Structures are given as structure tokens and as C-alpha cells.
Amino acid sequence: MPKQIFASIILALFYADGSWLNELTSMDHFVDANTINLSYVGADPNVIENNTTWPLTETQRTDGGTVVALSTFDTEPTHVTNVEELETNYQKCESVLRQHADALREHACISAAYNISPANSNFATSGAPRSDGNFKMTYNDILRMRTEFNKQKCPMNGRIVLLSPEHEEDLLSEDANRYHLMMQTGSIAGFKVYTFTDNPQYNTYGAKQPKGTNNQQPSSVFFHKNLVMRAMGDIEGEPEKRWADYRGWLIGLQMRFVALPMRANQGVLAMYSGR
């Protein structure tokens, strides 16, 4: 399979319709040698009303910046024999490639959700206790997040929420009619709604736990699409024919990718299950 066709298959699957990764601002064009230079704009200028003192005191805007290396994602290779390719009624090599691409997208989504979520959260759910002892998410909790975004002066258009399965269930149990309306419209309180299984987890004090933790408090992640970026680098790993030792092909992929918030403490929040 020609490399350009292989790469197009990966990209088509990676940014599939309905994937919340599509909501992040693409900065692919800034990637250089699988790194990206992120610049952070300094503080806004002070505004003085009805000034009577001249000259005005000048200030300098202090910007920041950092060079970020894109994360490396590798799939373990799959062996496809020539007999399998010939005897199946479909193109097994292409099917395996698609499976590897799906696995890359899943892990990139996990990495993205973890990276963009804040290290600490001051927002815990406030509903009645669930059977597991955690407090349920309520529609009022989502309104609290709307208010916080309003305070941060985030534009109304472009707000996204990644609901954890637990929080989605909470909303369904609180008001089924309102839940079904949310799913039909795809939005709630101005947030475009996605459900994502692998949001990061927090402890009961609101500290984000290490990636892969699965025994702490689930969270839902709220962000503004203009304040969160994604960047794709190299994609490597077209099927390698290995006749002498494998009588077939080895298929494995490597992809460089990263997703990060663009500004610290703005446009990204998390709400974890209180307890």
C-alpha cells in the first residue's frame, strides 16, 4: 500500500466525524521536527477611565513561550500471513491498519483529555448520593460551569463538555425529558455535548490523579475550542513485507501527536464527583 494512501487512511480515521478531537484548534502547520513552539500572551493592559494624570505610566507586556515535543504513540505490530490475506474475503492488511488507527485515536483521546484538564479542580458535583457514595451531577452543576465560563469571558460559541458516563447517567436519572432534549440538540447550557469514557480522575480534594487511574473520582471536562490546541506530526509504519521470516507482513504504526491548553487557567475546567 503506497505510503500516501496509508497516511490518508490514518488521518481519516483519526479525525472521524463525531470525534471530539475535531473540536480542538488545529496547529499542525506550526509543527517543526515533531515539536511545536507555544507562545503565551501576557496580561491585558490596564484601562483608566477619565484620566487626569499625564503622562500615563507605561508597562511592558511579558509574553512566555515553550517548545513542546509531540508525544510518541506506537502500536505493537500485528503479523498477517500471505495465506490469511489470500484466503479471507476482505483485505486483511487494510483491516488491520484501520484497527491500529482506531487504537491510536483512542489513546490520543485519552492523552488529550488528560493534558487539557486542570491539575486541580474547585468544582465538585452537588447532587444526591449515588449507590457508590459519590454525589450525582445535576443540571444546576452544569449551570455553575456556565457561570464560571461567563466570568472568564469565554465566548458563548465554541464551549464543549466531555461528560463522563457516570455524569451522563446522573443527568438521565434526574430528568429524562431534559436529558433526551440534550441528546437531540447536542447541547446543554451552551455547551456542545460529548460523552467520553476516559476522562481523568480526581481525588476527593480535587487533585488530578496519574493517567490511567481508575479507582478515584470520575470527572467531566469543560473547555472552549479556541483555547485548546491539537497538533499532528509524523505518521510512520506502512505495512512491511517480511517474506523470509514471517511469510507475510508486519503492521505497526507510530504517530506524533499532542493536545494542550493554550492559556493557563482559562477556558478549561473539570468537575469531579463529590463524595
List, for residues 244-267, the tens digit of each pLDDT value. Answer: 998 998 989 999 999 999 887 789
Grid cell, residue 65, equals 513561550
81 band by pLDDT with thresholds 50, 70 and 90: very high
CB neighbours of 133 closer than 8 A, spacing ≥ 6? 275
Q: d(Cα 111, Cα 265) in Å, to the nearest integer?
A: 19
Q: What is the pTM of this model?
A: 0.87
134 and 217 Cβ atoms separated by less than 8 Å: yes
Q: Given this model, what pLDDT does residue 62 score?
A: 78
Q: d(Cα 228, Cα 261) in Å, to the nearest integer?
A: 4
Cα separations in angstroms, 113 against 55, 198, 222:
48, 8, 10
Gap between the terminal Cα atoms of the chain: 53
Where exactly are the structural domains of the chain?
Answer: 3-41+65-115+229-261, 119-226+266-272
Domain 119-226+266-272: give its CATH code.
Answer: 3.30.2320
pLDDT, mean over the chain: 91
DSSP-assigned states of every residue in 71-102: EEEEPPPEEEEHHHHHHSSS-HHHHHHHHHHH
List 79's β-bridge partners, or say none.
Answer: 250
List, for residues 216-227, the tens digit of each pLDDT value. Answer: 999 999 999 999
